[in-house]
Amino acid sequence: MPTAARDIPQGNGHSDSLARTVSNSFGTLDLSTSPTATFHSPQSSYGGHQKPSTKQLKPFQTQDVKVLLLENVNKTGQDILRKQGYQVEALKSSLPDDQLIEKIRDVHVIGIRSKTQLRANILKHAKNLIVIGCFCIGTNQVDLQYAAENGICVFNSPFSNSRSVAELMIGEIITLARQLGDRNNELHNGVWNKVSAGCWEVRGKTLGIVGYGHVGSQLSVMAESMGMKVIFYDVVNLMSMGVASPVHTLEELLRQADFVTLHVPEIPETMNMISTAQFDQMKQGAYLLNASRGSVVDIPALIKAMQAGKLAGAALDVYPNEPGGNGEHFTNNLNDFTEDLRKLKNILLTPHIGGSTEEAQSAIGAEVADSLVKYVNLGTTSGAVNMPEVTLRSLTMDEPNHVRVIYIHKNVPGVLRRVNEILGDHNVDKQMTDSRGDVAYLMADISSVNVSEIKDLYQSLEDLGTSLYTGSSTLDGVGR
Ligand SMILES: NC(=O)C1=CN([C@@H]2O[C@H](COP(=O)(O)OP(=O)(O)OC[C@H]3O[C@@H](n4cnc5c(N)ncnc54)[C@H](O)[C@@H]3O)[C@@H](O)[C@H]2O)C=CC1
Ligand SMILES: O=C(O)C(=O)COP(=O)(O)O
């Protein structure tokens, strides 16, 4: 594929057809038209990283945009992307690193879920990548900083599966309290075992929620409606739902709760946040539920607490290492404690299905795919998790000779002045810039630009060179 600057189409005919292509291809998005888009990353160095060569995206025809979707991204999302005319390859599983590296070399857009790890060792091969869509809530699987420093925008879906996770937790709380998993297994094996010892109502019991965000707060409301007393612990001060009470420390929560449920993100502070010391602080016969990330619980310590009878039950939906796709085995090959875990009584082991409902997956598919389309076609970063959020009213067919410039750059003094000196040769109709840490994002719509001048514009922006971050992208559009 030719570089951005070289591939600028000449003449009105092409621009007309381009504008129509993009305009007509917006399906679920209410965009009257869109600029043609050219993302482009000038060479520069950042923090010693090997800089990817110039990104080569030329969606003057949206058919040029290559999209790789992994981990069975919902059809709703796939359809939105296909409707744009993008080339979409959708796979049901994640990929081993070597295959991922091969595939990621070419694509402009990648969509993943919680399994695929996009760290610097993978992203450094992604020479054309401009955007990552996490079709899930968590973004811990992506090196967000590295992505930003390389001009790669990252989107997720912040709450579309929260309700599904919270409902699963309600189901599991009752299932654990009544030992339903064991009774169900026994009867499937032909064993009648009618017991009441160690089986409880949940009414009047205390639920301790660790992490009172989207999932935790939904769960709070539902648990109270079942007559549970809810306490929660969060590192930020949050409004209580219903009559739930905040506690000041994790230890306070662990000492009071009959059921402890974890809904924190995977960050350094939450790694193994529940380990031997925390199990010791829990009530005798309490239950632990984890649907956050596998690294949050020290699972060998959990196994010991279960074997010692300290805990009456547990539910795990997430594990430090998870299989790449359906049909793969859940054995000690993945985590060396797996066999011991599988032998425990009253433990619910689910294959990371907290967010796996038709409703959640369809909503996530639509939300993330829409974000990707708006970014690829318009440069809009609203909702991005690693970039400043920048948007402008989109160009319309009524605005001829306009170009949208997207310039992601190192947030250092003087860059904007120099960029505006370059843009100032034209009429800057509207402009927005914002920064997030070391990365700044500029969007400008300039008019009275001849198609033939765009190449020089790119070159001038690229020539700012060393003052830019590794990733610097421009998007320009010509609507005639
Ligand atoms: N099992 C599954 O399928 C799913 C798992 N998840 C996981 O659940 C996590 C939570 O999801 P949401 O509620 O949507 O996230 P959220 O971001 O809305 O809430 C997380 C809460 O945890 C709090 N927190 C952070 N560090 C903490 C700490 N050290 N101690 C106590 N609280 C802390 C935050 O302040 C925030 O209020 C996600 O990050 C994701 O990893 C999310 C959806 C589906
Ligand atoms: O949304 C999340 O963070 C989840 O953990 C769900 O992940 P999944 O889409 O099922 O791989």
> What are the pocket residues of ligand 2 if the criterion is a CB atom closer than 6 Å to any ligand atom?
113-115, 136-138, 161, 352, 355-356
Residue closest by Cα to atom 44 of ligand 1: 355
CB of 477 closer than 8 Å to CB of 396: no
Report the alpha-carbon distance of residue 81 to residue 207 in Å, rounded: 42
Which numbered atom of ligand 2 lies nearest the CA of 136? 1
C-alpha closest to that of 403 among 418, 423, 385: 423
Q: Is 442 exposed, middle or buried (0-12, 13-18, 19+ CB in 10 A)?
A: buried
411-423 pLDDT, tens digit each: 888 888 888 998 8
Dist. CA 139 → ligand 1 center (Å): 11
Give the H/E segment covering residue 131. Answer: strand 131-134
If one residue of 71, 142, 352, 368 were mutated to test the ligand 2 pocket, choosing by the most ligand atoms within 8 A of its CB, it would be 352
Taking alpha carbons only, the member of 480, 474, 422 closest to residue 450 is 480
What class, spelled out in words, does domain 26-158+359-474 have in CATH? alpha beta
pLDDT tens digits along 430-444? 999 999 999 999 998
Q: What angle do CA 316, 93, 324 make, to 5 degrees?
A: 45
Residue ranges covered by each domain of the chain: 26-158+359-474, 162-349
Per DSSP, the three-state class of 30 is coil
162-349: in CATH 3.90.1150.10: no
Q: Could you tell me the CA-to-CA distances from 22 to 10, 38, 136, 452, 454 in Å, in that order?
A: 17, 13, 27, 21, 19
Count the residues in the chain: 480
pLDDT band at 1 (very low <50, low <70, confident <90, very high): very low
450 pLDDT tier (thresholds 50, 70, 90): confident
- Give every CB contact of residue 390 below 8 A, 6+ residues apart in sequence: 379, 380, 381, 382, 432, 433, 434, 441, 442, 443
CA of 46 to the centre of ligand 2 (A): 31
Assess: ipTM above 0.95.
yes
Gap from CA of 355 to ligand 2 centroid (Å): 6
Virtual torsion, Cα 420, 423, 424, 426, nearest 10 deg: -160
For the record, the structure tokens of 323 come out as 């299989």
What percent of the chain stands above pLDDT 70? 83
Ligand 1, atom nearest to 263 Cα: 10
User: Helices 180-188 & 162-177, crossing angle to 10 degrees?
Assistant: 70
Say how many C-beta atoms besides its own lie within 10 A of residue 457's C-beta.
21
Q: What is this structure's pTM? A: 0.88
pLDDT tens across 271-285, in order? 999 999 999 999 999
**Mean confidence (pLDDT) of the chain:** 85
SS3 178: coil
The pair of structure tokens assigned to 90 is 């959708």
CB distance 239 to ligand 1 below 6 Å: no
Determine the pLDDT at residue 471: 27
Is ligand 1 within 6 A of the CB of residue 319? no
Q: Which residues are catalytically annotated?
A: 293, 322, 352
> Can you tell me whether residue 60 is helix, strand or coil?
coil
Query: Which candidate, 223, 250, 247, places its Cα nearest to that of 237?
Result: 247
pLDDT at 59 > cutoff 60: no
Ligand 1 geometric centre to CA of 160 (Å): 13
Which atom of ligand 2 is the closest one to the Cα of 114? Answer: 11
**Is the minimum distance from the CB of 113 to ligand 1 under 6 angstroms?**
no
Minimal-distance CA residue to ligand 1 atom 2: 354
Q: Is the CB of 167 under 6 A from ligand 1?
A: no
Closest-CA residue, ligand 2 atom 7, reads 114
Same fold yes or no, 26-158+359-474 and 162-349: yes
Tell me the average pLDDT across 346-372. Answer: 98
More confident residue, 231 or 5: 231
What pLDDT shows up at residue 456?
81
DSSP helix/strand/coil, 349: strand
